[in-house]
Chain A
Amino acid sequence: MIRDITLGQYYPADSVLHRLDPRVKFIGTMIYIISLFVFKSWGYVLGTVFLAGVIVISKVPFRFMVKGLKAIMFLLFITMFFNAIFTPGEVLFHIWIIKVTKEGLILAGRMGIRLVFLIMGSSVMTLTTTPNQLTDALESLLKPLNKIHVPVHEISMMMSIALRFIPILLEETDKIMKAQIARGADFETGNLIKKVKNMVPLLVPLFISAFRRANDLALAMEARCYHGGEGRTQMKPLRYTGRDYAAYGILAAYLALTIAIRVFLHW
């Protein structure tokens, strides 16, 4: 039952995008998101072509990209709805007291495209990069903050551990749920108060197990003389290769084109 929930949604495949340095993918996603907010109208054609190209290269089935959209469907609908009815301008038609304006529809359309592309764009990153690679990339990109005494390594270590524990705890939850259902526990019916009360047999073993695991992990790290980031090397250090520089080139060109389209053509 719970197995279907995926947080780290990595989709293993053998593509150029999968082999790309996670830092490139992270910065690429940032650039893409910025471009979405730079475009005004026809620029989105470029955004669509770029996204489509990346999806094709990634070798990840299209339905996995769309999966992420389900979660924001509600948000998307609300955003578009309110943009459409609350933007002043040339009134197209009335429904009861609601006025739909031309400007509103355009804005709603733009917001819709931005949100959908934003989710799909970041899905490409999370689908082609393992959560651990992402934290590595983040650690490496945030390293300059070390100078102002931000514990970058510790933060990224906590992130990796948290990410690593999510599937473990989900699996544990599943097992505990099954064990309690086998004793006739009921997690589905009843009102809210009853439902919360029914969660106790699930939450107590889960918390105890989480604390035990945290304790064991801390002990295991201590036993291996872990002492934080100072002078620490990595097993798989991130190194740029030719294809990463090429990808940076493409990204720079894309960003330049985006800005040029906006500045010179006002698209």
Chain B
Amino acid sequence: MSIKLEEVTYTYSPGTVYEIHALDHVNLEIGQGDFVGVIGHTGSGKSTMIQHLNGLVKPTSGRVLYNDEDIWADGYDLRSLRFHVGLVFQYPEHQLFETDVLKDVCFGPKNEGLDAEACKARAIEALEHVGFPKELYDKSPFELSGGQKRRVAIAGVLAMNPDVLVLDEPTAGLDPQGRDEILDQIAYLHKTRGISIVLVSHSMEDIAKYVDRLVVMNAGKKAYDAAPKEVFAHYKELETMGLAAPQMTYIMHTLKEHGMDVDVTATTVEEAKASILQALGR
């Protein structure tokens, strides 16, 4: 499994006064089992970019390849691509519509052409994987809390057994506990199912903790594409893009400036603690 974006450019309303270049010659490759974070300021093009991954939008120029096949070539089955590349949008309200949770999660597999039994099995498996409580299966999805709705939405995509799961800000609007639970669940899916994950987020802390690779988008261009620690080393440039490195990065850099021999690449509280203790010689 691999997804490749080659020189992808996307322009909204070309030829009018409302013309916007949402993406500008972006190259990106996502391989089997990758855990990629995508971060960027509002309007940086990250949402537009991830919609290219499953062919929801067609690039104005450039190519999108799935397993080295051009998805916009004549005769390519875009619909089947969407079962391989699962995309979960930011707002669960945009996709929940059925009378109960289980039926809603069945929607994806049903579109894939599976029979009722298989759909149900897939749905239950997906709901279990996102940690959704069994006793709520026949509740209306509209009566759930924000966090539970989010789980159902993710399960709705997961039930299609995708090879890649793309999540657009899955933690927006959740309380800290709900956020951690959802992210832990996603990391668990990555580990147990071995699927690739693309996680779009605003929060550097989330990203730092989970992803192996970090893509930073700025004004429609890919600014960085490296391991989080390497990206955070450019924390001053990140600030000019309206982003910020995790708080620990700042603390460690300040400590270093004051002559303490600490590891500036520490991004989580645990890493920072270990490094400081070591520097203090304890």
Which residues, 1 to 23 on A, are CB-close (under 8 Å) to B? Answer: 3-4, 11-12
**B86 contacts the other chain (CB 8 A):** yes
CB distance A182 to B87 under 8 Å? yes
CB of A208 within 8 A of CB of B93, answer yes
- In the complex, whether B142 has a CB less than 8 A from a CB of chain A is yes
Q: Which of A182, A184, A209 has the most CB of B within 10 A?
A: A182
Q: How far is the CA of A186 from the CA of B82 in the complex (A)?
A: 11
The CB with the most chain A CB atoms within 10 A, among B12, B82, B111, is that of: B111
Mark the stretch among B29-37, B59-67, B94-102, B265-273 that contacts chain A: B94-102
The answer to whether B97 touches A200, judged by C-beta atoms less than 8 angstroms apart, is yes
Q: Would you call A243 an interface residue if the criterion is a C-beta within 8 Å of the partner chain's C-beta atoms? A: no
In the complex, the answer to whether A201 meets B79 with C-beta atoms within 8 Å is: no
Q: How far is the CB of A80 from chain B (nearest CB, A)?
A: 31
**Which residues in chain B, 1-51, are within 8 Å of chain A measured between CB atoms?**
12-13, 17, 51
**CB-based contact B79/A178 at 8 Å:** no
CB-based contact A209/B93 at 8 Å = yes
A197 within 8 A of B: no
The yes or no answer to B107 lying at the interface (CB within 8 A) is yes
Contact between B142 and A182 (Cβ–Cβ < 8 Å)?
no
| Cβ–Cβ < 8 Å partners of A186 in chain B | 79, 111
Residues of chain A in range 198-215 having any CB-CB distance to chain B below 8 Å: 200-201, 204-205, 208-209
Number of interface residues of A (CB under 8 A): 22
Contact (A180, B12) CB under 8 Å given A12-B17, A201-B107, A208-B142:
no
Interface size on B, residues (CB 8 A): 27
Q: A3-B12, A12-B17 are in contact. Are A184 and B94 (CB under 8 A)?
A: no
Residue A185 CB within 8 A of the other chain = yes
Please tell me if B91 contacts chain A, counting CB pairs below 8 Å: yes
Contact residues in B for A164 (Cβ distance below 8 Å)? none
A175 touching B56 in the complex, CB below 8 Å, given contacts A11-B17, A182-B86: no
* Bound form: Cα–Cα A20–B126 in Å: 60
A180 CA to B87 CA, complexed, in Å: 10
Q: Is the C-beta of B156 less than 8 angstroms from some C-beta in chain A?
A: yes
List of B residues within 8 angstroms of A181 by Cβ = 56, 82
The one of A3, A176, A183, A204 in contact with B108, judged by C-beta atoms closer than 8 angstroms, is A183
Q: Contacts A3-B12, A183-B111, A185-B111 known; A178 to B93 CB distance under 8 Å? A: no
Q: What B residues does A183 contact at CB under 8 A? A: 82, 95, 107-108, 111, 156-157, 160
Residue A218 CB within 8 A of the other chain: no
Task: For B88, list chain A residues within 8 Å (CB).
Answer: 182
B115 to chain A, nearest CB (A): 15
Inter-chain contacts of A11 with B (CB < 8 A) = 17
Cβ of B82: which chain A residues have Cβ within 8 Å of it? 181-184
- Within 8 Å of chain A (Cβ to Cβ): is B180? no
Q: Nearest B residue to A180 by beta-carbon distance?
A: B95
Query: Quick one: closest B residue to A185, CB to CB?
Result: B111
B70 to chain A, nearest CB (A): 20
Interface residues of A in 148-197 (CB under 8 A from B): 172, 175-176, 178-186
**Docked pose: A258 CA to B161 CA in angstroms:** 71
Residues of B143-161 contacting chain A, CB below 8 A: 156-157, 160
Asked if A205 meets B56 with Cβ closer than 8 Å, knowing A175-B89, A183-B160, A184-B79, the reply is no
Are A176 and B94 also in contact (CB < 8 A) when A3-B13, A182-B54, A182-B86 are? yes
On chain B, the residues within 8 Å of A176 by CB distance are 94-95
- Chain A residue nearest to B89 (CB atoms) is A179
| Chain B residues positioned under 8 Å from A182 (CB to CB) | 54, 56, 82, 86-89, 157
Across the interface, name the chain B residue whose C-beta is closest to A183.
B108
Chain A residues whose C-beta falls within 8 Å of the C-beta of B96 in the assembled complex: 205
- A residues within 8 A CB of B160? 183-184
- B107 and A175 form a contact (CB under 8 A): no
Set of chain B residues within 8 Å of A178, measured between Cβ atoms:
51, 56, 89
Q: Is B212 an interface residue (CB 8 A)?
A: no
Q: Mark A82-97, 1 if CB is under 8 A from B, else 0.
A: 0000000000000000
Residues in A neighbouring B112, C-beta threshold 8 A = 184
With A184-B82, A184-B111: A205-B93 Cβ-Cβ less than 8 Å? yes
Does B83 touch A at the CB level, under 8 Å?
A: yes
Which A residues are closer than 8 A to B by beta carbons? 3-4, 11-12, 172, 175-176, 178-186, 200-201, 204-205, 208-209
5 A–B contacts from the bound complex (CB under 8 Å): A182-B82, A183-B156, A205-B93, A205-B95, A209-B94
- Contact surface of B with A, Cβ cutoff 8 Å: 12-13, 17, 51, 54, 56, 79, 82-83, 86-89, 91, 93-97, 107-108, 111-112, 142, 156-157, 160
* 17 further contact pairs, Cβ within 8 A, besides A176-B95, A204-B97, A205-B93: A3-B13, A175-B94, A179-B95, A182-B87, A182-B88, A183-B108, A183-B156, A183-B160, A184-B79, A184-B82, A184-B112, A186-B111, A201-B95, A205-B95, A208-B93, A209-B93, A209-B94
